[in-house]
């Protein structure tokens, strides 16, 4: 590589890092705008990278880690909750998980391990950037750990164009559904409003039915 090509390469590296941070800022703002809306009334619960690990702690030998661990935002889950109380899970409680998939060529094609990006089977042009929204509602009180027992089964739910209530566990009355939106469709001024409306629609479809044959919450 000659000096001209080398300069162009590192210009792209600097630009890429700035674009990634700008992208994260906009994704986080969108999620905040949605979850702070009164019609959802959600509390933050937890987050984590889904396809790779978090960057290692400072006393861990960083060179034993995967380079992919330095981009945890490439595939992350953000869980929010609406609970009657924080001690036990009650009928009518519900959860919302945002799965931010920056590159379906990585997240949707199995374990890529620590593959060099230039060797990935799916090109960046062929991949997509999507936001998957998983919703879960309890139809009975349960003593469960949200992270270990409810979050673990979420990602088996198929994304659907219209809300279809799926029974998630054989032993528990827990139901869920999922939809996804391409990120390019979330850049409009009213993107948060449209996303909230869709979440409310899917949420109401899986909440338990009350005595008046209505879902547990109103739009």
> pLDDT value at position 214?
60
- More reliable by pLDDT, 39 or 150: 39
The confidence band for 213, taking pLDDT boundaries of 50, 70 and 90, is: very low
Give the highest mean pLDDT range of 61-75, 90-104, 111-125. 90-104
Q: Of the given ranges (7-16, 34-43, 122-131, 144-153), which has the lowest mean pLDDT?
A: 144-153
> pLDDT value at position 109?
72
- More reliable by pLDDT, 35 or 219: 35
Average pLDDT over residues 9-33: 95
Using a pLDDT cut of 90, give the percent of the chain over it: 54
- pLDDT tens for 66-91 read 888 888 888 999 999 999 877 778 99
- pLDDT tens for 139-164 read 999 887 776 667 666 778 889 999 99
The confidence band for 1, taking pLDDT boundaries of 50, 70 and 90, is: low
Give the highest mean pLDDT range of 81-85, 95-99, 206-210. 95-99
Q: Look over the chain and give the mean of its residue pLDDT values, rounded to a whole number.
A: 88
The confidence band for 169, taking pLDDT boundaries of 50, 70 and 90, is: confident
210 pLDDT more than 80: no
Dump the DSSP string for the chain. --HHHHHHHHHHHHHHHHHHHHHHHHHHHHHHHHHTSTTT--EEEEEEESSSPPPPPTTS-GGGS-GGGG-GGGEEEEEEEE-S-SSSB-TT-EEEEEEEES-HHHHTSS--TT--GGG-SS-TTT---EEEEEEEEESS-B---IIIIIGGGGGGSPB-SS---EE--SSS-EEEEEEEEEGGGG-STTHHHHHHHHHHHHHHHHSPB-TTS-BSS--
């Amino acid at each position: 590589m000659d000096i001209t090509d080398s300069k162009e390469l590192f210009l792209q590296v600097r630009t890429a890092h700035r674009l990634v941070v700008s992208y994260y800022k906009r994704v986080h703002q969108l999620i905040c705008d949605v979850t702070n809306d009164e019609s959802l009334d959600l509390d933050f619960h937890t987050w984590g990278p889904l396809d790779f690990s978090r960057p290692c702690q400072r006393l861990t030998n960083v060179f034993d880690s995967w380079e992919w661990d330095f981009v945890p935002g490439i595939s992350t889950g953000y869980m929010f909750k609406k609970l009657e109380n924080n001690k036990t899970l009650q009928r009518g409680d519900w959860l919302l998980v945002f799965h931010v998939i920056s590159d379906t060529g990585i997240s949707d094609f199995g374990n890529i391990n620590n593959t060099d990006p230039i060797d990935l089977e799916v090109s960046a042009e062929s991949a997509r950037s999507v936001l998957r929204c998983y919703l879960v509602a309890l139809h009975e009180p349960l003593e469960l750990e949200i992270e270990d027992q409810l979050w673990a089964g979420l990602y088996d739910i198929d994304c659907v164009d219209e809300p279809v209530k799926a029974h998630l566990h054989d032993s528990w009355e827990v139901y869920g559904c999922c939809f996804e939106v391409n990120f390019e469709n979330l850049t409009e001024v009213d993107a948060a409003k449209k996303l909230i409306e869709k979440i409310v629609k899917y949420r109401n479809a899986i909440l338990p039915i009350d005595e008046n044959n209505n879902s547990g919450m109103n739009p």
